[in-house]
Amino acid sequence: MKLFGVLGDPVSHSLSPAMHNAAFRALGMDCEYHAFRVGPESLHDAIYGAHALGFGGLNLTIPLKEKALEIVKPAELAKQIGAVNTVDFKKGIVGYNTDGLGAKMALEGGGVKIRGKNVLLLGAGGAARAIAFQLASDGASITIANRTPGRAIALAKDVGRVGKARASGFGDLKNLVQNSDILINSTAVGMSPKISETIVTSDMMHSSLVVFDIVYNPINTMLLSEAKKAGAKTIDGVMMLVYQGAEAFKIWTGKTPPVDVMEKAVRERLE
Ligand code: NAP
């Protein structure tokens, strides 16, 4: 039996155990995935302990993704993003970031092309960093708008090394939305329990906009409801979660997991 796990604090709400265990069962693999409550002060011991115990791999969640950079050998993309969400033990202790790839695959899986598109990205936190690096590398022009403009400016400067990125505050949002092909919410706004909140409303949108909310709890956020009112195409946060997990699964096992099985496990728990 091979063990896998997600480390974080809080972590009891994590959907990763259900998602990965469903994939292991579907592929008939003798593996189990559990959630472990670990704070930043114990992260070093926890990662080295898992390595010593022969774990197959780890995921990291809040508040450990940035701290892990000091502990693992980061792959180039994780180093650029400044955060690690996946640890693999096959060649030492290597850290990856699969969040951006998860977002890209969620968009492409929804039939959305990325190259040449104007993307308005709300947020400049950990998830926004991963998405901005990925989509800029894939040829999108990214406008990063954040409540704290200084963080958007810093992120746009970093992302400018791999592609097109500029920063903005929330002052001119309507204009920014009107000039965008894709709007992505990567802030925590709209997340349970504050489910009636949204930064952008339907009157600011246009009908050829794609609106992607990476918040997945609830699945149908207020932003997505507003987007439907405006006749815009919507993509919820579940597939990003599933695809980032599927990429981690591939890194650990070399196998392609059944994403439909993983998606079903996640949606069942959220619904
Ligand atoms: P984070 O690093 O803490 O960043 C939070 C971001 O939200 C910051 O940009 C922050 O702006 C902004 N924000 C928070 N409250 C706000 C408010 N009231 N008004 C405006 N902006 C606000 O968090 P994260 O790890 O990036 O995660 C962000 C969200 O994405 C969470 O809901 C998380 O569950 C979700 N997520 C989903 C997936 C997925 O696979 N679907 C993956 C990762 C994360 P300031 O800089 O101004 O504080």
What integer pLDDT is reported at residue 253 of this predicted model?
Answer: 98
57-69 per-position pLDDT tens digit: 999 999 999 999 9
- Give the chain's end-to-end CA distance (angstroms, integer): 31
The C-alpha atoms of residue 121 and residue 109 are separated, in whole angstroms, by: 19
Distances (CA, A) of 97 to 4, 211, 228: 17, 23, 31
Q: Identify the residues whose C-beta falls under 6 Å from ligand 1.
A: 99, 102, 123-128, 146-148, 151, 186-189, 191, 214-216, 237, 240-241, 244
Backbone dihedral angles phi then psi of residue 80, each to the nearest 5 degrees: -60, -45
The three state secondary structure string of 18-66 is HHHHHHHHHCCCCEEEEEEECCHHHHHHHHHHHHHCCCCEEEECCCCCC
Are 133 and 80 a contacting pair, CB within 8 Å?
A: yes
Judge whether residue 169 has pLDDT over 90: no
Count of domains for the chain: 2
CATH at 122: 3.40.50.720
CATH at 34: 3.40.50.10860
Ligand 1 atom nearest to CA at 244: 40
What integer pLDDT is reported at residue 214 of this predicted model?
Answer: 98
Distances (CA, A) of 237 to 110, 122, 220: 12, 14, 9
217-260 per-position pLDDT tens digit: 999 999 999 999 999 999 999 999 999 999 999 999 999 999 99
Nearest residue to 106 via CA among 240, 257, 223, 266 = 240
**Within this chain, do residues 40 and 121 fall inside the same structural domain, yes or no?**
no
**Within this chain, do residues 217 and 153 fall inside the same structural domain, yes or no?**
yes
**Within this chain, do residues 123 and 11 fall inside the same structural domain, yes or no?**
no
118-168 per-position pLDDT tens digit: 999 999 999 999 999 999 999 999 999 999 999 999 999 999 999 999 999
Distances (CA, A) of 81 to 141, 187, 252: 17, 16, 21
The C-alpha atoms of residue 234 and residue 246 are separated, in whole angstroms, by: 22
Structural domain of residue 63, as residue ranges?
2-97+239-270
**Within this chain, do residues 152 and 119 fall inside the same structural domain, yes or no?**
yes
What integer pLDDT is reported at residue 231 of this predicted model?
Answer: 98
206-226 per-position pLDDT tens digit: 999 999 999 999 999 999 999
Of the residues 99, 187, 192, 199, which should be mutated to test ligand 1's pocket, given the most ligand atoms within 8 Å of the CB?
187
